Amino acid sequence: MSSSADVKASARRLFIGAGCNRVVNNVSWGACDLVSFGAQNAVAIFSPKTAQILTTLPGHKAAVNCTHWLPSNKFAFRAKNMERHYLVSGDADGAIMLWELSIIDQKWKHVLQVPQSHKKGVTCIAAIVISDRAAMFATTSSDGTAHVYEAVLPSSTGDECTVSHVESIPVGSKAMVTISLAQLPGSAGQIVLAMGGLDNKIHLYCGDRTGKFMHACELKGHIDWIRSLDFSLPVCTEGEQDGLLLVSSSQDRGIRIWKIALRDSAAGNRSASSIDEINLASYIEGPVLVAGSYSYQISLESLLIGHEDWVYSVEWQPPIWSSTERMSYYQPLSLLSASMDKTMMIWKPEKTTGIWMNVVTVGELSHCALGFYGGHWSPDGNSILAHGYGGSFHLWRNVGSDFDNWKPQRVPSGHFAAVTDIAWARSGEYILSVSHDQTTRVFAPWELEASHNGASWHEIARPQVHGHDINCVTIIKGKGNHRFVSGAEEKVSRVFEAPLSFLKTLNHATSEIFGFSEDCQTDVQILGANMSALGLSQKPIYVQAPHAREMPERTGTAGLDSLETIPDAVPVVLTEPPIEEQLAWHTLWPESHKLYGHGNELYSLCCDHEGKLVASSCKAQSATVAEIWLWQVGSWKAVGRLHSHSLTVTQMEFSHDSKMLLAVSRDRQFSVFSIIRTDTGDITHRLLARQEAHKRIIWACSWNPFSHEFATGSRDKTVKIWAVEGESSVKHISTLPQFSSSVTALSWVGLDWKQNSGLLAVGMENGLVELWALRIVRTEGTEVPKVSASLAARLDPLMCHISTVNRLAWRTSVKAEDLRTIQLASCGADQCVRVFEIDVE
């Protein structure tokens, strides 16, 4: 008989789902064709080609505001031979970090925390690559300063990248929120820096790699905050680099293009004959920029009006590789703008007149989108990416050959606030997650024809889009249609049932993987669901209703501006993973019941293994409110009110045979209730035991799947194992060695029924996850069993959450012999849903 000490486990990352922080300047598309973004305190990296998040980088202690690649998409033409790429990230506390990506093996490394960080949140990061060995980057912050740094890139494999602080530029009480850098053409090593912010002006500074940045001039014209600035690379006329273009966007909804042209020596001494040659340019000439011994004339090239709301970002199309001898690149005259009016536009000058025109407009027509925070080009200029108010990404690719044809593409998606609970479907086909972003989401593996790596995970539905933060969820087990109960920051639990459109979509996604289809589709008469005006209830759309999607007739304009004018959803069967617009509106599930009873906001839910009972608890500060309610599945009647605790019940779980209910609470106690089902179908209950188990709040509990032992985890950094003895007592049988942080999540999975062995997953407040091998040994003549425990695996921090793990859940295996490879799902305060594949040796 092998002991638990023989059990070792290894983990690999299967999936990460996360939303983008809702901050301007949060996203960057690198020359390596990877996209970086902030997801709470993590820097997340995703591949646009696979629509998968590859990793999250831990290190920041506050929310990540900005990320910027070195080299970014603008300098892709210089990055062809670079073996290592770098990423700069800044957070809400002012800390700036540098990360290194090895292109060959795709390994990440934290290089350093940048010296001379800001005292308040970083608002923007911009960079230029000067040569193969040198780059400069600048940062703005709400602390009233801008910092300029030089990065020395290593030439050989063993060297490290070093960063030195070049200069700190005070900007006064009106903070700068955007910055851009460029090398001035014609001058040796002169660098121009543009900043914009709350004073509606663009401030230009000149300096060099050693610093000495002097305020050169101001550009006036915008009448609201400057939101984005971007320098082009030097533009050539007649083969000579003689100018730069600077584009600016503002909350005044306008975009301005400024030309910075090198003045020749004769420019200052115009002959008298040239005075008569008055043209438009002479009226809109701006100030002269002096940099060293060179001077540059600044003029307003164009004013672009087209957006109907704040323009949050503008970006020049990245330069294209050129084979000419004089230049290694060609700067296209093409601009991308992104606005809160839910559109992105591409602007180009007309060939004959040179007037800048809007040539492409893409956007999200979904009424629930609230606009774009930023837009970015791919390095090749064939794709454009936006990130929006809902933490979502939107990607379009130009698939046309002779003409532009921009089509939406798949992107990663996820929650944009803390994920509070997760649950596996009855047969493990999908994961259901709920979050403080007020949504419930379904993630599932989808076998795609183009993928050679098997199934990739995607968000396939958003069953609930609510008006309150959602705290807990449980999936109803047993037979019948897919159902779940969710509890939010309200006193009502809500029951949802899968519509026909979801069942058929799920069949498309998982039939290849699981080899079965749902047999309950014939009974389902509901196609989908509509959102109510206030975003609380979701009304069914019936299959047989021919006019289900028709709006009621209105006379004149009466009611057009009322809350009732929300368009109806159009639920469809999806044959490929959906994009954001479909998810946000057309994949809702109808709400079938509301469960009233609790006196405060819902906090915890669980369902028994037969799918007959649901237990719920709410936030409580007194014994009367801290009661646990039992609900009968189907009739949804309250069949029990269990009294035991005096403060919030934080988690509950039914034993494997559904005969006992375990509850743990903020009052540091656990309770075990006996659930008795009479022959008449009535439910009775009895308190078996209540015991003070830990010195601090108990956050988590989990039953042994094979017998009546259970584990509890607490803020006191301990996990204790308990055994239910007979009908009246619970004995403490073991304590695992103290953990490095508060224990916030537990999940126990069985491995070998005969040996009563399994794995206990332990999640902590610091985001880390450990797997412990447990074996319960019962010897004759002793009442209390013994526990053989050993550490089976400590998951790599790069794989784990960045902040508190809120819930862990093992996937129930379809086949019993698959227990050597198990999937573990987790969710946390870092906005992430993660799936790990665990190989047990």
Between 449 and 633, whose confidence is greater?
633
Sorted by sequence, the CB contacts under 8 Å of residue 450 that are 6+ apart come out as: none
Together in a domain, 534 and 614: yes
Residue 375 CB burial class (10 angstroms; 0-12, 13-18, ≥19)? buried
Classify residue 764: in a domain, yes or no. Answer: yes
Q: Flag whether 271 is in a domain.
A: no
Q: What is the pLDDT of residue 267?
A: 42
Distance between CA 402 and CA 399 in Å, rounded? 10
Do both 743 and 793 map to the same domain? yes
Please give the Cα distance from 227 to 175 (Å, whole number). 12
My answer on whether 684 and 737 are in the same domain is yes
Q: Where are the alpha helices (DSSP H) in 729-815?
A: none
Do both 539 and 673 map to the same domain? yes
Most confident listed range (536-540, 678-682, 752-756): 752-756
Whether 779 and 813 map to the same domain: the answer is yes
Domain of 369, in residue numbers = 320-403
What's the residue count for the chain?
841
Q: What is the pLDDT of residues 268-320, one digit of tens each?
A: 443 333 333 444 444 466 788 888 788 888 999 899 999 999 999 999 999 98
Omega within 30 of 0 (cis) for the link into 71: yes
Distance CA(221)–CA(201), nearest Å, equals: 7
Pick the last residue of a domain from 242, 273, 305: 305
Distance separating alpha carbons of residues 653 and 664, to the nearest angstrom: 9
Q: How many CA atoms lie within 13 A of 782 on its CB side?
A: 9
**Residue range 737-755: mean pLDDT, rounded:** 92
In tens, the pLDDT along 340-380 reads 989 999 999 998 888 999 999 998 765 556 789 999 999 99
641 lies in the same domain as 777: yes
AA letter at 757 = S
Which pLDDT score is estimated for 463?
A: 93
Q: Same structural domain for residues 163 and 146?
A: yes
pLDDT value at residue 80: 79
Looking at the structure, do residues 344 and 436 belong to the same domain, yes or no? Answer: no
Asked whether residue 301 is assigned to any structural domain, the reply reads yes
Query: Helix/strand/coil (H, E, C) string of 445-458?
Result: EECCCCCCCCCEEE
Residue 109 lies in a domain: yes
Residue 486: CATH number of its domain: 2.130.10.10
DSSP secondary structure, 295-313, as one string: EEEEEEEEEEE--SS-EEE
Q: Are 823 and 812 in contact (CB under 8 A)?
A: no
Asked whether residue 593 is domain-assigned, the answer is yes
How many of the other CB atoms lie within 10 Å of CB of 180?
25
Verify that 26 and 157 share a domain, yes or no.
yes
For residue 521, what pLDDT is reported?
59
Phi, psi of 452, rounded to the nearest 5 degrees:
-100, 0
- Percent of all residues in the chain with a pLDDT value above 70, rounded to a whole number: 87
Task: With respect to residue 410, please indicate whether it lies within any of the assigned structural domains.
Answer: no
Q: What are phi and psi of 183, to 5 degrees?
A: -90, 130
- CA dihedral defined by 300, 306, 310, 314, rounded to 10 degrees? -60
1 found inside a domain: no
So what's the pLDDT on residue 736? Answer: 94
Helix intervals (H) in 176-255: none
**To the nearest whole number, what is the mean pLDDT of the chain?**
86
Residue 279 lies in a domain: no
- Residue 737 in tokens: 């060695």
pLDDT tens digits, one per residue of 529-573: 777 665 667 777 777 654 444 434 433 333 333 334 456 777 888
Last residue of a domain, one of 305, 338, 368: 305
Closest alpha carbon to 28 in 61, 69, 77: 69
Q: In this structure, are 645 and 742 located in the same domain?
A: yes
Cα–Cα separations (whole angstroms), residue 188 to 322, 430, 578, 663: 23, 59, 51, 72
Confidence of residue 479 (pLDDT cuts 50, 70, 90): confident
Task: Based on the fold, state whether residues 367 and 253 are members of the same structural domain.
Answer: no
State the total domains in the chain: 4
Alpha carbon separation from 97 to 57, 91, 727 (Å, rounded): 11, 9, 57
Give the pLDDT score at 248.
Answer: 95
Please give the order of strands across the beta sheet that includes 660-665: 649-654, 660-665, 669-677, 683-692
* Percent of the chain that is helix, strand, coil (3-state, to 5): 5, 50, 45
Phi, psi of 634 (to 5 degrees): 105, -70
Domain end residue (candidates: 151, 173, 195): 173
Beta bridge mates, 361: 345
**Distances, alpha carbon 676 to alpha carbons 515, 653, 673, 704, in Å:** 37, 16, 10, 20
Q: What are the pLDDT digits (tens) for 11-46?
A: 999 999 999 999 999 999 999 999 999 999 999 999
- The set of residues, in sequence order, having a beta carbon less than 8 Å from that of 600 and lying 6+ positions away, is 491, 618, 619, 620, 625
Please give the average per-residue pLDDT across 46-53, as a whole number: 93
Q: Whole-model pTM?
A: 0.90
Q: Which of 15-19, 80-84, 422-426, 748-752 has the lowest mean pLDDT?
A: 80-84
Q: Are residues 155 and 183 in the same domain?
A: no
For the stretch 87-106, pLDDT in tens is 999 999 999 999 999 988 88
φ and ψ of 181, to 5 deg: -125, 150
Phi, psi (degrees; rounded to nearest 5) at 400: -75, 150
The pLDDT, as a whole number, for residue 627 is 94
